């Protein structure tokens, strides 16, 4: 359990956390939302024991600042911005495995699922990896050890749709763990979480439970029919791993991750003028005994 009580953090004269109190039970999966400067990252850093603050932070009854190693062994953290580490990716993985008492092979396995070949990048400086590769590696390191608390600051920001789907799958495999997923956009993480906390000016302004209606590992089959071929659309839809079903490139088929569907529809909205028909259908809905929920347009 994570307990924050009357947490105050001030930078010079700016009070970033303003008496924040919050209890996060084991198994709570929290979408931590709020605008820039709301205090999300500061709250996370207080939980990680990185900031001195007024008030109390306890993780399973222990203060992270004074019981660092015990507390941080339970936590897997993915930062918002990948750090500019000059060390080779392989060294970072080995370091993480050593201090977490975990196994490099587990990290390699997770990285491989995310589409990152660790053997290929292990000699390259972490700094020189692409944004997506860095993010995948940080996620693989976080997911590669047996943490009971996952803290992720915008974890999918630099990932392509396919990798995002894998991250959702990986998180879906760990739904019994406590998660704090920080994001600017609720729709990014809404389907992964069972609780939403919104911060504003260092205070909790919304604390709500989310109905767990959708399986985070859900996939949707999608077909889009266009009025006419469009190069910009083709480029955008190919990033979602869609393929044309005809030579004229007016019909496109592919799959969309359940938690990603609002983002997908947001992308499609830009091309609504050329879309003649759209179908989104839950895959294997019939097998699971569910009514096949689908969208037709």
Partner 1 sequence: MSALLQAARLDIAESVRARWFAIYALVFGGLIAILFIFGLTESRVMGFTGLSRMLLTYIQLTMAILPIFVLLSTVRSLVGDREAGVYEYMLSFPISLSGWFWGRFAGRFLVVFLPVFVAMLIALVVGLFMGAEEIPWRDFLWYSALLFSLSLCFLGISFFISALARTSDIAQSLAFVIWLALLLFLDLMLIGLLIQFQTPAEVVVGLALANPLEVFRIGAMMLFDPQLILLGPAAYMILDWFGNAGFMAYALLYPLALGLALAGIGFWVFRRTDLP
Find the shortest distance in angstroms from Cβ 153 to partner 1. Answer: 9
Closer to partner 1 by Cβ: residue 39 or 82: 82
Tokens of 205: 């302004």
Cβ pair 30, 197 in contact under 8 A: yes
3-class SS of residue 118: helix
> According to CB under 8 A, which one of 22, 33, 38, 77 is a site residue for partner 1?
77
Closer to partner 1 by Cβ: residue 99 or 205: 99
> Binding to partner 1 by residue 146, rule CB under 8 A?
no
Cβ pair 44, 180 in contact under 8 A: yes
Find the shortest distance in angstroms from Cβ 28 to partner 1. Answer: 20
Residues in contact with 288: Cβ distance below 8 Å, sequence separation at least 6, in sequence order:
none
Choices 42-50, 188-196, 218-226, 236-244; region in contact with partner 1 by CB under 8 A: 42-50
Closer to partner 1 by Cβ: residue 36 or 69: 69
Q: What DSSP letter does each residue of 119-134 carry, written as one string?
A: HHHTTSBGGGS-HHHH
Tokens of 103: 């196994």
> Binding to partner 1 by residue 52, rule CB under 8 A?
yes
> Binding to partner 1 by residue 100, rule CB under 8 A?
yes
Q: In this structure, what DSSP letter does residue 191 have? A: G
Closer to partner 1 by Cβ: residue 152 or 222: 152
> According to CB under 8 A, which one of 3, 18, 60, 91 is a site residue for partner 1?
91
> Binding to partner 1 by residue 63, rule CB under 8 A?
no
Find the shortest distance in angstroms from Cβ 210 to partner 1. Answer: 27
> According to CB under 8 A, which one of 55, 90, 125, 229 is a site residue for partner 1?
125
Cβ pair 199, 32 in contact under 8 A: yes
Closer to partner 1 by Cβ: residue 64 or 258: 64
Find the shortest distance in angstroms from Cβ 185 to partner 1. Answer: 22
Buried b (16+ CB within 10 A) or exposed e, 165-190: bbbbbbbbebbebbbbbbbeeebbbb
CA separation for the pair 3, 56 (Å, rounded): 8
Cβ pair 36, 29 in contact under 8 A: no
Tokens of 233: 């659309």
CB atoms < 10 A from the CB of 291, how many? Answer: 8
Q: Which residues bind partner 1 (CB under 8 A)?
A: 45, 48-52, 68-73, 75, 77, 79, 81-87, 91, 95-96, 98-100, 125, 138
């Amino acid at each position: 359990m994570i307990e924050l009580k009357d947490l105050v953090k001030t930078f010079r004269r700016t009070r970033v956390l303003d008496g924040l109190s919050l209890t996060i039970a084991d198994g709570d999966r929290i979408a931590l939302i709020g605008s820039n400067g709301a205090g999300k990252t500061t709250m996370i850093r207080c939980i990680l024991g990185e900031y001195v603050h007024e008030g109390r932070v306890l993780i399973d009854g222990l203060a992270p600042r004074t019981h660092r190693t015990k507390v941080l062994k339970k936590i897997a953290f993915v930062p918002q911005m990948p750090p500019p580490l000059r060390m080779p990716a392989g060294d970072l993985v080995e370091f993480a495995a050593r201090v977490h008492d975990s196994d490099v092979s587990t990290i390699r396995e997770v990285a491989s699922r995310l589409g990152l070949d660790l053997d290929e990048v292990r000699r390259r400086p972490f700094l020189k990896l692409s944004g997506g590769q860095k993010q995948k590696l940080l996620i693989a390191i976080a997911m590669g050890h047996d943490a009971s608390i996952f803290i992720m600051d915008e974890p999918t920001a630099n990932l392509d749709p396919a990798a995002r789907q894998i991250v959702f799958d990986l998180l879906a495999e760990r739904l019994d763990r406590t998660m704090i997923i920080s994001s600017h956009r609720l729709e990014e993480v809404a389907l992964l979480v069972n609780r939403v906390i919104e911060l504003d000016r260092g205070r909790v302004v919304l604390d709500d439970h989310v109905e767990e209606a959708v399986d985070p590992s859900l996939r949707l089959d999608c077909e889009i029919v266009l009025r006419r071929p469009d190069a910009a659309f083709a480029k955008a839809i190919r990033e979602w791993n869609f393929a044309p079903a005809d030579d004229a490139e007016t019909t496109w088929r592919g799959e969309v991750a359940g938690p990603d569907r609002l983002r997908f529809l947001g992308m499609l909205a830009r091309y609504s003028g050329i879309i003649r028909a759209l179908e989104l259908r839950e895959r294997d809905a019939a097998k699971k005994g569910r009514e096949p929920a689908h969208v037709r347009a």
